[in-house]
Structure 1
Amino acid sequence: MHLIWVVLIGFFAGLIARMLTPGRGPSGFFLTAGLGILGSLAATFLGQFLGWYRPGQTAGFVGAVVGAVILLALYHLATRR
């Protein structure tokens, strides 16, 4: 059940991150969901590394959005012309 919540929170975080980040990014349902899920996982692992979260504790919705926005910014920097 925990994995389902991670996927749902990640999906909605990806949608919000795409709305907050200017420019064209990866589009489509699966790419947006994947972006949010990766953002959620990145925020969780970064927060655990920095000591903000204990092992087994997740970043939550705000952390997932921040992680997804960071990933989108990195995507825009990598694909910049």
Structure 2
Amino acid sequence: MNFIIWIVVGGILGWLASLVMRTDAQQGLLLNIVVGIVGALLGGWLLAPLFGTGTINQNDFSISSLLVSFLGAVVLLAIVNLLRRGTPR
């Protein structure tokens, strides 16, 4: 059951991050899910210690963990844009 929640919440967070970074037209559903889950991992590694919270990957479904996971997905897309185009959006 937890895996299904990761997919659904990861897809939503990846989609929202792609809207913020203006890469939604280049991504499909599968890539949004991947960005959301990997972004949550990245957010857990980089941002969770700063905010003192967990992420969706750590079975912590609170507003702060969703925010950290979302910010991790935005950071991931910024890194991908930086590597792909040379400048972040």
TM-score bucket of the superposed structures, by smaller chain: 0.7 to 0.9
Distance 1:57 1:44, change over 3 A: farther
Give deviations 1:35-73, integer Å, cap 9, x for gaps.
1111112212332xx26236x454632112111100000
- Give how far 1:22 is off: 3.0
Distance 1:60 1:7, change over 3 A: farther
User: Structure 2: 5+ residue runs without aligned partners?
Assistant: none
Q: Percent identity?
A: 26
Q: Give the TM-score normalised by structure 2.
A: 0.69
Alignment RMSD: 2.5
RCO greater where, 1 or 2, for CA within 8 Å and sep 6 or more? 1
1:44 and 1:35 map into 2 onto residues whose CA distance is: 14
2:19 and 2:67 map into 1 onto residues whose CA distance is: 14
2:7 and 2:77 map into 1 onto residues whose CA distance is: 18
How many residues are aligned here?
78
User: Structure 1: 5+ residue runs without aligned partners?
Assistant: none
